[in-house]
């Protein structure tokens, strides 16, 4: 059993039985209200991440114009390019939900928008993780050399993998297993 928070509960027994029958409904809201809330939450999350991506991208775009850029090694150029491409991909993927929303606005496509925006946001976070690992690799190689850089890059990748993927995926598996067990009863 994990130390994760238990699912929300409601003291009203009639409502609790409805929620147990349909655990996807943790709130008493219509499908439209749920889709509205999901889209608003997703777009707000993207706004938070997007600022950091834009700052990183702007910084990476200025690096080749610094006086020492022509002195970096091939390994450092590769790390720089991976960070640049990862940041560009994160920008594309994290801005895309806004574009999808604007283009499909008032067309009755909210469920589609929520699904696509969720997938784009996950891809954007993955791209951002790649970019940040590559940036850490580049900076640590310049500062400490290749051996330390590989260790720092590996530790950074492991941290992203654990916090951004393993922890929520483990909780997701637990919740799904609990829901399956409740349905069998």
Residue 86 lies in a domain: yes
Residue 119 lies in a domain: yes
**106 phi and psi angles, rounded to 5 deg:** 60, 30
**Residues 106-123: what's their mean pLDDT?**
92
Residue 18 lies in a domain: no
**Full domain range(s) for residue 179:** 28-184
Residue 47 lies in a domain: yes
Residues with Cβ within 8 Å of 184's Cβ and at least 6 positions away in sequence, in order, are: none
> Hunting for tokens 């993207």 — which residue is that?
46
**Is the CB of residue 140 less than 8 Å from the CB of residue 153?**
yes
Q: Total structural domains in the chain?
A: 1
Summarised one tens digit per residue, pLDDT across range 154-176 is: 999 999 999 999 999 999 999 99
pLDDT cut 90: percent of the chain above it: 55
Summarised one tens digit per residue, pLDDT across range 25-70 is: 567 888 888 888 988 898 888 888 888 898 889 888 888 888 888 8
Which two three-digit tokens encode residue 146? 């290749």
3 state SS of 33: helix
Task: Give the Cα separation of 133 and 155 in Å (integer).
Answer: 9
The number of beta carbons lying within 10 Å of the beta carbon of residue 130 is: 19
Residue 8 lies in a domain: no
Residue 77 lies in a domain: yes
Summarised one tens digit per residue, pLDDT across range 2-18 is: 455 455 454 555 555 55
Residue 1 lies in a domain: no
Residue 151 lies in a domain: yes
pLDDT higher than 70, residue 113: yes
């Amino acid at each position: 059993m994990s130390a994760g928070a238990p699912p929300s509960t409601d003291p009203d027994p009639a409502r609790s039985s409805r929620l147990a029958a349909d655990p996807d409904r943790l709130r008493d809201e219509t499908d439209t209200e749920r889709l509205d809330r999901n889209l608003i939450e997703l777009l707000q999350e993207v706004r938070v991440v997007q600022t950091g991506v834009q700052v990183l991208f702007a910084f990476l775009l200025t690096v080749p114009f610094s006086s020492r850029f022509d002195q970096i090694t091939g390994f450092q150029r590769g790390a720089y390019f991976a960070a640049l491409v990862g940041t560009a991909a994160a920008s594309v993927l994290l801005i895309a939900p806004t574009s999808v929303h604007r283009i499909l606005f008032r067309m009755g496509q909210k469920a589609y928008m929520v699904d696509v925006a969720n997938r784009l946001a996950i891809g954007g976070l993955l791209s951002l993780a790649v970019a940040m690992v590559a940036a850490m690799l580049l900076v640590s190689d310049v500062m400490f050399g290749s051996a330390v850089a590989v260790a720092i890059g590996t530790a950074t990748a492991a941290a992203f993998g654990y916090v951004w993927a393993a922890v929520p995926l483990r909780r997701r598996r637990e919740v799904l297993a609990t829901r399956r067990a409740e349905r069998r009863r």
